[in-house]
Amino acid sequence: MSASSIGAGRAGGYARYLDGRTIAPEQGDYYLTPDGELTEAPGRWLSDPETLARLGIDPDAPVAGADFIALMEGRHPGSGGWLRPAGADGSRGGGIDVTFSAPKSVSVVWALGDPWQREQIEAAHAKAVERSMEYLKDRVPVVRRRYSGQVVEEQAKDVIATAYRHTTARGVSGAQAPDPQLHTHVVISGAVREDDRIVAVASRPVFRGLREVGAFYRSALAQELAGEGYPIEQGTGKDGKYFEIAGVPVGLRDAFSNRHREIAKAAERFRARHGRAPERGEIRDIALENRRAKDLSTRGDLQRVWARTGDRHGFGADEAVHLVGAPLPASPERSIEERIEARLVEREAVFDAGLLRAVAMEQTAGELGPEDALGVTRAMVGERRILTLEGGRMTTL
């Protein structure tokens, strides 16, 4: 999961949808064509019906380009009046793009499986994104208010958010076609306070909560996929934070990760030039600087290239179908609580509640749903396996 801030001045650029076969590379050329035509997948509203009614928007209709631009600029889509006040410098922030990206094996099965599997995986991904946005609203204080000179962060009553699903990664030099990568961009352009006032979204709490909300998304996605019969492999990737569908060849996952390798190489060049690793904001800049427009390709072109890659690794539609109902990987030897404790204190003895929740969801993907994983953390605190210290910090017994 990743996030980036979008300035209000770039709202028009961010209102152009890129479906993998059009326009030139620019930051933000993602969502609608220049004329506002919906192409690959219609944008969906993720706000409460009451919020959309205030904005004069039909919650069941796809996102219109003009409405998207108005909200990014802080205006009412119908009247054009300002919805939220300007900041101290007179500007109005556009919003935040929060991107939920499925593990590579999920994208591989989506790309090479039968049509019914594609629909099944898209539905599981969409449900996981919706659940994660509800979690973000409940957990992440995206509203900043000032009381007697003190700035306080609070949860929003609702957020103004639109979701756009994409299915390919950016193309890289020398590749025949972009890799399959199922992901959804959720653009949050405003927040509704408890007093019903619409305000700008505070970006820092969103950035701080990325790991926790990302862990919730992957846990919810694993739960949805496991419910459809897919075997889930836990503890994959860096620091064991991720999951994969068991049975998808590792070599094939790597073959469809060209974009990831390109960014990694750019980060190595940064390290060689500056003598240090890039920080979070610099990593985002590297990713944007090295993006190429998705190549001019039809879906048939993509499928033929993807199928040839799958054939080289012995994986195609038949193998994808046979994953459903396949035997589950062996269960971990240690208990859930022991796994959570071990991961929490790998590097430091003290952590915060957000990390506790994130690790619990990461360590139980496909085994427990996110709500049940969070229940485990509450029990661990209640049983004093996890101790609360001064200042809200925590440690293990």
Q: Predicted confidence band at 313 (pLDDT cuts at 50, 70, 90)? A: very high
Determine the angle formed by the axes of helices 370-382 and 336-344, rounding to 10 degrees.
80
Task: Report which residue type is found at 326.
Answer: A
Share of the chain above pLDDT 70, in %: 78
Q: Considering only 41-55, 254-268, 306-320, which range has the smallest mean pLDDT? A: 254-268
Examine the pLDDT at 280 and tell me if it is beyond 70.
no
More confident of the two residues 353 and 174: 353
Examine the pLDDT at 55 and tell me if it is beyond 90.
yes
Paired tokens of 21: 């076969």
Residue 31 β-bridge partners: 17
Give the pLDDT confidence score for residue 301 in this predicted structure. 76
Give the pLDDT confidence score for residue 384 in this predicted structure. 96
Paired tokens of 122: 């898209």
Q: Using CA atoms, how far apart are residues 86 and 92, in angstroms rounded to an integer? A: 5
Burial of 128 by CB count in 10 Å (0-12 exposed, 13-18 middle, 19+ buried)?
buried
Examine the pLDDT at 217 and tell me if it is beyond 90.
yes
Q: Using CA atoms, how far apart are residues 376 and 185, in angstroms rounded to an integer? A: 30
The 10s digit of each residue's pLDDT in 161-191 is 999 888 888 665 556 678 899 999 999 999 9
Give the pLDDT confidence score for residue 12 in this predicted structure. 55
Residue 244 β-bridge partners: 233
Residue 31 gets which letter from DSSP? B
| Most confident stretch, 20-29, 38-47, 93-102, 293-302 | 93-102
Residue 80 gets which letter from DSSP? -
Q: Put residue 137 in one of left, alpha, beta given phi > 0 → left and psi -120 to 50 → alpha.
A: alpha
User: Taking the model in full, what pTM does it have?
Assistant: 0.85
Residue burial 329-368, b: 16+ Cβ < 10 Å; e: rest: eeeeeeebbebbbebbeeeeeebebbbbbbbbbbbbbbbb
Task: Report which residue type is found at 212.
Answer: E
Residues contacting residue 172 through CB under 8 Å, at least 6 positions apart: 258, 259, 261, 262, 292
Give the pLDDT confidence score for residue 37 in this predicted structure. 35
Alpha helices in the chain (DSSP H): 11-14, 49-54, 65-72, 104-112, 115-139, 203-208, 210-227, 250-255, 258-274, 280-289, 299-312, 317-321, 336-344, 353-363, 370-382
CA dihedral sign of residues 65, 137, 230, 105: positive
Query: What distance separates the 2 farthest-apart alpha carbons in the chain?
Result: 65
Examine the pLDDT at 272 and tell me if it is beyond 70.
no
β-pairing verdict for 198-199 and 232-236: unpaired
